[in-house]
Structure 1
Amino acid sequence: MPLYDYKCDSCGHTFEVNHRMSETPEISCAQCDSKQVRKILSTGGILGSTKMGQSDAPAPSPCAGGGCASGMCGLS
């Protein structure tokens, strides 16, 4: 079951709720019991990546032949 993030418009509290994608449950704030909550963008399901889906891996070298340190770089 997916985990959804919600934010209360009344008190600003953010919290998570587990429910099926096909469900639209009536959710109230766990802190102030307000029904004025909205679903917010969650990044909890993205593992091993950073902003906008970019990975932490370094960019590939433009030098396919072993890099500029070997003296074989065509860029220098």
Structure 2
Amino acid sequence: MPRYEYRCRTCGDTFELSRPMAQSSDPADCPAGHDDTVKLLSTVAVGGTSSAASAPAPSPRAGGGCCGGGCCG
């Protein structure tokens, strides 16, 4: 079940709730009992590797680069 982060406008505390996606926008009560809360935007980090990520970066002098690679350096 997804976790959503909320902030209480009354006391300023932030807290998380696990709830179904269909209820993500429903009002959430602060653990201190306040009901003036807002859902915070959260970022999701996805880890993993790909063959492109493990390949070395091309040298700027190996062609390409600025102006065909001849002017850098």
Task: Name the TM tier (shorter chain).
Answer: 0.5 to 0.7
Structure ID, larger Rg:
2
Give the superposed CA RMSD. Answer: 2.5
- Aligned position for 1:57: none
Higher helix share: 2
Cα distance in 1, alignment partners of residues 18 and 61 from structure 2: 47
- Aligned position for 1:37: 37
Is residue 12 of structure 2 the alignment partner of residue 12 of structure 1? Answer: yes
* Deviations, residues 27-48 of structure 1 (Å, cap 9, x unaligned): 2111x210111101113x2245
Letter in 2 for 1:65: A
- Aligned position for 2:28: 27
Percent identity of equivalent pairs? 33
Structure 2, gaps ≥5 residues long: 48-56, 64-68
Report the CA distance between 1:64 and its aligned residue: 5.7
Query: How many residues get paired?
Result: 57
Task: Name segments (4+ residues, structure 1) moved above 6 Å.
Answer: none
- Aligned position for 2:51: none
CA 1:29–1:22 in structure 2 vs 1: closer, same or farther (change >3 Å)? same
Q: Verify the 8 A CA contact 2:27 2:37 in the aligned structure 1.
A: no
